[in-house]
Amino acid sequence: MAFFFPDAYVAIDWSRGHEYLDKELQKITADADTGWRTVDRLVKVYLLDGAELWVLVHVEVQMQPEGGFPERLFVYNYRIRDRFGVRCATFAVLTDDDDHWRPTRYEDSLLGTVLRMDFATAKLLDLEQDWAALAASANPFAVVVMAHAKHRATRRDLQARLAWKLDLTKSLYRRGYDRNQVIALYRFLDWVMTLPDDLARAYVDAMDDFEKEQKMAYLSYAERLAQEKGMEQGIHAGRVQSIVRQLQRLFGPLAENDLATIEALTIAQLDRLSEDLLDFTQPADLAQWLRQPPAA
């Protein structure tokens, strides 16, 4: 909240703590027939005037805009108010690449009846513009934004991705974070900035040497190797699921042989497909791409 929505952050009394409302969130999303959703957190906080407030923070992780997104946030908001009788402030973090897609409002009208809800958004594309401020920030989410930016910028240059991944990881030790923060951000960087096997091993070797030089053994060499192997499987499954979802939105259900081909792609190929599919206009474009997937 401090990084993405500073105006709201200063209005909340953080001295009273906060409470995650996972069960309440499940109740309002379980039967909300609005398609695929990625709601991150529903949290109870208190304002400086003592009023109780529920905060819905939504992270929209998509490669392209979604027409029903504002309505989805409206549905969540009114369900919280209706079911639990509390006010809810809605915030959205947008990670897409479309500079023109900036949803901030849901509005519908019928025969003089008008429904409208404005909501706060933070777009990573905007935050990436001031790289110097990100590099100087002590807030851990500055690193999150930087990793997202360099993931996109290096989709077709994996050597550059390795260099940026090493630079960002080493910067964690210079920002004054404690051990738990460094490890958490290290794992995030490893998840976002994926590398093929040879470069992943080079990354692990370089970080092992760096920690020895700095005398900061936060993760052992063996732990890094095990993490690389275990996370790669989860990353691959997540990439496949995300791409299939996007393709189904474009063209409807996919053929079984296309699904099998997509599942057999490497992580690097999946990253390439997630970018190239933005130019697809018909199922034949996908079929042609799958006949000769790029090597990386």
pLDDT one-digit tens code per residue, 167-185: 999 898 888 888 788 888 8
pLDDT of residue 156: 85
Residues of the chain with pLDDT under 50: 33-37, 221-222
In a domain, 92, yes or no: yes
**44 torsion bin: left (phi>0), alpha (psi -120 to 50), beta (else):** beta
pLDDT reported for residue 38: 53
Neighbours of 133 (CB within 10 A): 10
Asked if the structure places residue 272 within a domain, the reply is yes
Domain assignment of residue 194, yes or no: yes
Given 126, 161, 196, the domain boundary residue is 126
List the CATH number of the domain containing 110. 3.30.300
Boundary (domain end) residue, out of 126, 153, 183 = 126
Q: Which domain holds residue 67?
A: 6-126
Name residue 207's beta-bridge partners. none
- For all residues of the chain together, what is the average pLDDT? 83
What's the pLDDT score for residue 228? 57
Give the other-Cβ count within 10 Å of 89's Cβ.
18
Residue 36: per-residue pLDDT: 45
pTM recorded for the entire structure: 0.69
